[in-house]
Amino acid sequence: EVQVTHIVGDSFVSASRNEGEKPIPLVLGDKFKRTSPFAILVAKGSYAEMTLQTEAILRIGQQSVIEFRNPNHLRIFNGSALLLLSKQQSLNLETNGTKIQLTGRGTFMFESPKGKNLKIIMLEGKALLSSAKAKQSLQSGELVLVQAGNPDSGQTINVDLPLLLATSRLINNFSAPLPSQSKLISAAKVQVIRLKKRYEALIGNTNDQNQLRLWALRKEERQLKE
């Protein structure tokens, strides 16, 4: 069964294949069992959170429509969502033009504004993305864009994880923090340290005499303080 754990604004559940059935409003605390497929519809300015049959936590953003083909198969018609997998799990994600299997554990976001290209961001944890012709690992702070009609996974891009965690409504617009909140904070701190070390290595290891080395700057700073 699916349990509704947070509601802001208007959200609905609808049978995907029964056009005669009116969408049913979601109410906080609701527990419902639906025969797949069914869809969750979230209105403008609204947000919803629910615990799924697989014990995963799903947060759905405003103006989103997500269909549950089965407990481990989601089709994104429009919008964005956050999913927390507390245990190792395989999940099929689909849009109009993309099909990807995500296997892993952690917290990630996915977005498809027009239901075509699919953006996946790993906030904390690790995952393996598998498409028809490619496999690609995804770690904390990484984003991959899967383009419609392209069987290969997209290029991995680093995102500013501290900024994303501080500004995302899927994280901050809910009354209770995610169970993975401490892991999210740790992942952001690790990214800051990792990028700082990379920056220091790039500057400190340069052999160009026209550029200052970081260790030399630090030595001068110590001398000034003394």
Question: Degrees (nearest 5) of the Cα angle 118, 49, 130?
Answer: 30
Main-chain phi, psi angles of 180, to 5 degrees: -95, 15
Amino acid identity for residue 197 in this structure:
K
pLDDT in tens, 133-191: 889 999 999 999 988 887 676 778 889 999 999 999 999 999 899 999 999 999 999 98
**Any domain includes 184:** no
Q: Is the peptide bond before 37 cis (omega within 30 degrees of 0)?
A: yes
The span from the CA of 70 to the CA of 48, in Å, is 19
**Any domain includes 65:** yes
pLDDT at 215: 40
Average pLDDT, the chain: 85
Structural tokens at position 125: 């944890």
**Any domain includes 95:** yes
Cβ pair 10, 43 in contact under 8 A: yes
**Any domain includes 57:** yes
**Any domain includes 200:** no
pLDDT at 222 over 60: no
**Any domain includes 216:** no
**Any domain includes 108:** yes
Query: For residue 67, what are the domain limits?
Result: 2-175
**Any domain includes 61:** yes
pLDDT in tens, 187-220: 999 988 887 765 554 444 444 444 433 344 344 4
The radius of gyration of the chain's CA atoms, rounded to the nearest angstrom, is 21
What's the domain count of the chain? 1
Main-chain phi, psi angles of 188, to 5 degrees: -65, -40
Task: CATH number of the domain at 167, please.
Answer: 2.60.120.1440
Secondary structure class of 2 (helix, strand, coil): strand
The span from the CA of 189 to the CA of 193, in Å, is 6
pLDDT at 223: 46
